[in-house]
Structure 1
Amino acid sequence: MNTQTRLLAAVLLAGAAGAALAKPYCGELNNAYGPFDYRVADQNTKDLVEHAHFTEEVEAGQAGHTSYIGADIDYTLRVFPNHPRALATMIRLTRRGGANSYTLTGAHYPTECYFERAVRWQADDAAAWSLYAQYLYTIGKDGQAMPMLQKAVELDPDNPTYNYNLGLVYAKKKQYDLALPLGQKAYAQGFPLPGLKQMLVKAGKWVEPPPAAAPAAVEEQAAPASQPAAATAEASSKP
């Protein structure tokens, strides 16, 4: 093979490699059944999958239903990529199994891929971003996790859990000016865990939020007795 031929072959191989790398590492989302957005899927569709694959034993991480646990969760998450309880089960299995659970037996993809697929499938799903962050913290990728939590709060700014979790991360990094308003908001909504507040109190940064202003009382004024009923109705219809 002469030099020109070898060069052409190298170019062709490089092009083929580039095309392969251009495909999503975590697989296409197209599926024989689905995918469906779990948030809006009808109950019959959910039951069809969950009764067959995401049973109580699977969710608890005790045993697979049709095969391995990983296979049943894989099926569930290929039909519903943003299935929150199935993603949460992935996190629990990772905490329990450590590095051995980074790819579950029977699963099509490495565990992190299921979280990537969830946010790729529905980028407006705050729960999926929050769960992705939890997974990343579980495997020690703290630097990658914070943007995920920030995205969850951006999408659902009134969710006390997301505000608490992001505030906790900021407090651990001693970014108390960012942690405080998130903690105040979470506790104002009744979030039960005291950890964030305790950290801020210990650092001398906790400030009780101002009490919510009471709504102004509206006094109802009776129409003058001499005012005709039709005029009263007309007046009440004006802005």
Structure 2
Amino acid sequence: MNTVSLTLLPSMSSLLSPLLAAVLLTSTAAMAAPAGAGPAAKAGQEAACGGFPRADNGPHDYRTVRDKRLSIVEQYHFTPSVEMLIKGSSSQDLAGDISFMLRAFPNHHRALMSIVRLGERTRSEQPRGSAFTVDCWLERATRFAPDDAVARMIYAGYLNKRGRAQDALVQMDRVAAVAGDSAFTHYNAGLILIEMKQYERALAHAHKAYALGFSRLDLREKLQSAGQWKDPPDAAATAPAPAASAAAAASAASPASAP
């Protein structure tokens, strides 16, 4: 059974949604093309955005490799100054350091967000020093770790901002397929889907998140503000009866008194 470790990542909110707190998931992932992708599709993806050749520094799954292999690469190529897009560390260009990080850890969530923000700041699909386009880095992350829900949500947010709503929905469908019993994933998926105005899908994720015990009410409140909140179907059946109805039911159930 896979172990899932959840950690809030507030910095993700500026990228995907004003209220979104992303989750770092730790689970076993296979390095494969997305489900249903045949050899030809995989070859096409690799031709466009590169494969994953083995090297001393990777590639590794960001969710499961958290030892010195990660810390060493971050120490030299993903310092706080790089993450905050202030200056490069081992490379003259910020994108050069982020590229190194993403080659070693293709689904490094924070590095993915940094390359997206760098592309937005420079208004470039391929910032100077980047080995690939921003879209390619995101595609690579989801191809490397198909069951990484966080990487797919980052990709969905990126696609939606660029008017590629249908492509974003494909990513969100795959998030739903791997969300399982992760309340955080359902909650964050709901927030992203509200941004996409996919209210029915957002509501379904909200119901799952709250059924799994998630306590923050932002998702519910956003759906209510949009006039899209509905209680789950079984809530009405299990809700306490109003006091008047309960009293009437109790009266009807008690034996009739003698005249």
Q: Which has the larger radius of gyration?
A: 1
Structure 1 residue 132 displacement after superposition: 1.3
Contact 2:153 2:189 in 1 (8 A): no
Which of these residues, 80, 85, 98, is aligned with residue 105 of structure 2?
A: 80
Change (3 A) 1:176 1:58: closer
Structure 1 residue 198 displacement after superposition: 3.2
Structure 2 unmatched runs, 5+: 1-42, 239-259
Structure 1 residue 58 displacement after superposition: 0.4
Which of these residues, 52, 66, 77, is aligned with residue 90 of structure 2?
A: 66
Q: Map of 1:198-237 to 2, 5 A cutoff? A: 198-203=222-227, 205-207=229-231, 210=235
Question: 2 CA distance for matches of 1:36 and 1:88?
Answer: 18
RMSD: 2.9
Structure 1 unmatched runs, 5+: 1-19, 214-239
Contact 2:89 2:97 in 1 (8 A): yes
Change (3 A) 1:184 1:121: same
Q: Which residue of 2 aligns with 1:157?
A: 180
Structure 1 residue 154 displacement after superposition: 1.7
Matched, 1:38 2:38: no
Matched, 1:90 2:119: no
Change (3 A) 1:24 1:164: same
Matched to 1:61, the amino acid is L
Question: 2 CA distance for matches of 1:152 and 1:92?
Answer: 22
Change (3 A) 1:44 1:130: same
Matched to 1:38, the amino acid is Y
Matched, 1:140 2:170: no
TM-score with structure 1 setting the length: 0.68
Question: 2 CA distance for matches of 1:175 and 1:53?
Answer: 38
Which of these residues, 53, 67, 76, is aligned with residue 52 of structure 1?
A: 76
- The CA deviation string for residues 170-227 of structure 1, in whole angstroms up to 9 with x for no partner, is 5567654433232233355023535x5334354264337839x9xxxxxxxxxxxxxx
Matched to 1:144, the amino acid is D
Matched to 2:171, the amino acid is M
TM-score with structure 2 setting the length: 0.63
Contact 2:203 2:223 in 1 (8 A): no
SS at match of 1:96: helix
